[in-house]
Amino acid sequence: MQHTDTTASTVHWLSAHPEPSSLNGCLRRDAIAHLRRIGHTVLESDLYAMEWDPVVRARDGGQDPGDEQRPFRVSTDTRDAYISGNQPAEIVAEQAKLQAADAIVVQFPLWWYGMPAILKGWFDRVFVSGFAFGTDPCTGRRLRFEQGPFVGKRALVVTTLGDRPHAIGPRGKSGELNELLFGLLHGTFAYTGMSVLHPWALPSADRITDYERVRDDLRRRLDRLYTDETIPYRPQFTGDYTPEWELQPHVRPGERGVRVHTEN
């Protein structure tokens, strides 16, 4: 069920920036303080401060270090480790934060038009089969999109960019922001069942001279965490797609690209 009480929710704030005194670090501290001040509980994952290991290793699948008797089957072994309770403690702790949250805010600087490696590695290690996606062993129900395990949670990206504002617009050289972040917004958040908010983005971040204006804009956006409209990504199992995951010929015929996967 979608959370509607904007004064008493749990928010998981996941961030990735190596310098605490940076613009990202200041926005993180001020935003978390604001959320707590207006009544939210905030669970934090500051990946650089945690010295998070972003690399998927055999121990994530329950294998002892140095065990070379069989190959590491990444998807199968990590799923088995999740189901059997044999995951590393740091992964269990991060999964518990996400399970407890009504919303997740993922904050990062856009580096080479993607997430920093440490943040990508968090998703690689935490969003394993059985936890974030897969198949219900009792019913055979496919756990993705509108049937995903995280239905009811909201997801917001908070990102800073070096690009100028129009560069990430509909005709910008860098591409429209929701399309630029399609892999994260649709392929990770929507895929696991989350309701995905339009990102909060700060372009020309290295030229900011009025921090208070930027801080207050982010605060206002966080005030609407549970009321802003979400991106209307198409559900998978209601007839818009073929069994091969391709858009049906009658849906937006002649159009192509990532924008056809939204309902407007």
In this structure, the answer to whether residues 163 and 261 fall within a common structural domain is no
User: How many CB atoms within 10 Å of residue 176?
Assistant: 15
* 66 assigned to some structural domain: no
* 4 assigned to some structural domain: no
In this structure, the answer to whether residues 226 and 247 fall within a common structural domain is no
> So what's the pLDDT on residue 197?
98
In this structure, the answer to whether residues 226 and 248 fall within a common structural domain is no
In this structure, the answer to whether residues 188 and 98 fall within a common structural domain is yes
For the chain, residues with pLDDT lower than 70 are: 1-7, 65-68
* 1 assigned to some structural domain: no
Q: How many domains are contained in the chain?
A: 2
* 224 assigned to some structural domain: yes
Question: Which residues contact residue 4 at a Cβ distance below 8 angstroms, ignoring those fewer than 6 apart?
Answer: 226
In this structure, the answer to whether residues 37 and 79 fall within a common structural domain is yes
Name the DSSP class of 230: B
Distance spanning both ends of the chain, measured CA to CA:
24
pTM: 0.93
In this structure, the answer to whether residues 55 and 118 fall within a common structural domain is yes
DSSP E strand boundaries for the chain: 10-15, 41-46, 103-109, 134-135, 142-143, 154-160, 195-196, 200-202
Do 158 and 31 meet the contact criterion of CB atoms below 8 Å apart? yes
> So what's the pLDDT on residue 8?
83
Query: Which CATH number characterizes residue 27's domain?
Result: 3.40.50.360
Across the chain, mean pLDDT equals 93
* 123 assigned to some structural domain: yes
In this structure, the answer to whether residues 257 and 167 fall within a common structural domain is no
* 190 assigned to some structural domain: yes
Do 142 and 184 meet the contact criterion of CB atoms below 8 Å apart? no
> So what's the pLDDT on residue 7?
62
> So what's the pLDDT on residue 119?
98
Residue-number span of the structural domain to which 150 is assigned = 10-61+72-233
In this structure, the answer to whether residues 18 and 138 fall within a common structural domain is yes
In this structure, the answer to whether residues 86 and 111 fall within a common structural domain is yes
- The b-or-e profile of 20-35 (16+ CB within 10 A means b, else e) is eeebbbebbebbbebb
> So what's the pLDDT on residue 247?
95
Q: Return the H-helix or E-strand segment holding 218.
A: helix 211-223
* 67 assigned to some structural domain: no
In this structure, the answer to whether residues 219 and 142 fall within a common structural domain is yes
* 3 assigned to some structural domain: no
Name the DSSP class of 199: P
SS3 label, residue 129: strand
In this structure, the answer to whether residues 245 and 226 fall within a common structural domain is no
> So what's the pLDDT on residue 1?
43
In this structure, the answer to whether residues 195 and 134 fall within a common structural domain is yes
